[in-house]
Amino acid sequence: MMLATPWLLAVFLAVVALASPSPAINEIRQPSNKPGRFLSLPVPNKCAQRPKEFNYRGRNYFFSGNLPQYRNAKLDWLDARNACREYCMDLVTIETQEENNLVFTLIQKGDVPYIWTSGRLCDFKGCENRRDLEPKNVFGWFWSATRQKMAPTNQVPASFNFNPWSQTGHKKVRQPDNAEFDINGTNESCLAVLNNVYSDGISWHDVACYHEKPFICEDSDELLNYVAATNRGIRL
């Protein structure tokens, strides 16, 4: 299920590049509406003191709206990822219905209008010539925090008993619908969980990545392992 080896290699090279930035780090540049932005590196101090609002299957999570410094903050998708990554976390990756329930409950209890997840459409450099990702709206989605492919968007994911993508949206068709592309040519390449925005309950939507939203961070095994391996005695 892992996406292309080039991505794994890119991460490896990025880790190697931490000490001495090299052109290889360009490999992990994420596309955005603000060109030239990069993924942030973890900050060991922040990782050690990261917010641990709740824990599920050994990983910690927090909702940005519950932290004083982010109480009213809304960030675009890449900035939100980077805010998480400095804490050795990343945007939430929703792998099971149980985890989805945790996210939905948080949204419902907090009356949160929407949040970013790490879900991303593979529509950038490195995703071309991947017949297995076509058609993109069905097979092209993955979790950027773990680089795992998502279930096809028109199917009930394994470990779910319903399809979490909304049945409706701006165009009154099921998600993902890339609706903003029809409005002004901006692709909806990022996955947000919206709270009843289209009278559709709490559900998954493809949304253009420049939109600014609060977010949920989840521990990143990769970043925690990296910081643990490079900071002797650090308590994470």
- Side-chain half-sphere CA neighbours of 138 within 13 A: 6
Nearest to 209 by CA among 34, 27, 11: 34
Nearest to 104 by CA among 140, 70, 133, 63: 63
To Ca ion, the closest distance from the beta carbon of 26 in angstroms equals: 27
Instruction: Candidates 20-28, 42-50, 108-116, 176-184: pick the segment binding ligand NAG (CB under 6 A).
Output: 176-184
50 in contact with Ca ion (CB under 5 A) = no
By C-beta, is 83 or 190 nearer to Ca ion? 190
206 binds, among ligand NAG, Ca ion, none (CB under 5 to 8 A by kind): Ca ion
Nearest to 211 by CA among 174, 176, 186, 182: 186
Asked if residues 190 and 176 have their Cβ atoms less than 8 Å apart, the reply is no
30 in contact with ligand NAG (CB under 6 A) = no
How many other C-beta atoms are found inside a 10 Å radius of the C-beta of residue 162?
A: 10
How many other C-beta atoms are found inside a 10 Å radius of the C-beta of residue 64?
A: 24
Angstrom distance (rounded) from CA 70 to CA 63:
9
16 binds, among ligand NAG, Ca ion, none (CB under 5 to 8 A by kind): none
By C-beta, is 110 or 113 nearer to ligand NAG? 113
Asked if residues 120 and 7 have their Cβ atoms less than 8 Å apart, the reply is no
Instruction: Candidates 17-25, 65-73, 101-109, 179-187: pick the segment binding ligand NAG (CB under 6 A).
Output: 179-187
Interface residue with Ca ion among 114, 169, 203, 226 (CB under 5 A) is 169
213 in contact with Ca ion (CB under 5 A) = no
How far is CA 180 from its chain centroid?
19
Q: How many residues make contact with ligand NAG (CB under 6 A)?
A: 8
Interface residue with ligand NAG among 27, 123, 200, 222 (CB under 6 A) is 123
Q: Which two tokens stand for residue 97?
A: 């219905």
130 in contact with ligand NAG (CB under 6 A) = no
Region class of 19: left (phi > 0), else alpha (psi between -120 and 50), else beta: alpha
Instruction: Candidates 3-11, 55-63, 77-85, 178-186: pick the segment binding ligand NAG (CB under 6 A).
Output: 178-186
By the criterion CB under 5 A, which residues form the site for Ca ion?
Answer: 93, 95, 169, 177, 179, 188, 205-206
By the criterion CB under 6 A, which residues form the site for ligand NAG?
Answer: 123, 178, 180-181, 183-184, 186-187
